[in-house]
Chains A and B, each alone.
Chain A
Amino acid sequence: MFRAVVRLSTSGVRSLARTRPCFSAPLASRCYSHAKVETDEEFDARWVTYFSKPDIDAWELKKGMNTLIGYDLVPEPKILDSALRACRRLNDLASAIRILEAVKDKSGPHKDIYPYLIQELQPTLTELGISTPEDLGMDKL
Chain B
Amino acid sequence: MIFLDAVLRLDQPTCVWQMLATRALSLVGKRAISTSICVRGGHGVAKVDDYALPCYFDRRENPLPDVQFVTELSAAQKSLKEKEKGSWATLSNEEKIALYRISFKQSFAEMNEGTKEWKSVIAGMFFFIGMTGLVVLWQRKFVYGPVPPTFESEWKEKELQRMLDMRINPVEGFSAKWDYENKEWKK
For residue B18, CB closer than 8 A to chain A, the reply is no
CB–CB B107/A133 < 8 A: yes
For residue B102, CB closer than 8 A to chain A, the reply is yes
Task: Return the chain B residue nearest A61 by Cβ.
Answer: B64
CB–CB B64/A65 < 8 A: yes
A133: chain B residues at CB < 8 Å are 107-109
CB–CB B103/A98 < 8 A: yes
B87: chain A residues at CB < 8 Å are 129
Interface on B for A, CB 8 Å cutoff?
60-66, 84-85, 87-91, 93, 96-97, 99-100, 102-104, 107-110, 112-113
CB–CB A105/B88 < 8 A: no
CB–CB B63/A97 < 8 A: no
Per the bound structure, the CA–CA distance linking A135 and B100 in Å amounts to 13
Count how many chain A residues have C-beta atoms less than 8 Å from C-beta atoms of the other chain.
31
Which stretch from A9-17, A43-51, A87-95 is at the chain B interface?
A87-95
Task: Return the chain B residue nearest A88 by Cβ.
Answer: B88
Per the bound structure, the CA–CA distance linking A104 and B156 in Å amounts to 70
A131: chain B residues at CB < 8 Å are 93, 96
CB–CB B107/A95 < 8 A: no
Instruction: Say which residue of A70, A92, A95, A129 sits within 8 Å of B90 (CB atoms).
Output: A129
Known contacts A94-B100, A135-B93, A136-B97; A102/B63 CB under 8 A: yes
CB–CB A138/B90 < 8 A: no
Task: Return the chain B residue nearest A68 by Cβ.
Answer: B63
CB–CB B66/A95 < 8 A: no
Instruction: Say which residue of A69, A135, A136 sits within 8 Å of B63 (CB atoms).
Output: A69
Inter-chain pairs besides A93-B84, A94-B104, 5 sampled, C-beta below 8 Å: A66-B61, A93-B88, A95-B64, A97-B96, A133-B109
Known contacts A62-B66, A141-B110; A136/B96 CB under 8 A: yes
Task: Return the chain A residue nearest B62 by Cβ.
Answer: A66
Known contacts A61-B64, A141-B109; A98/B90 CB under 8 A: no
Q: Closest approach, in angstroms, between the C-beta of A61 and any C-beta of chain B?
A: 7
Per the bound structure, the CA–CA distance linking A121 and B174 in Å amounts to 77
Q: Closest approach, in angstroms, between the C-beta of A71 and any C-beta of chain B?
A: 11
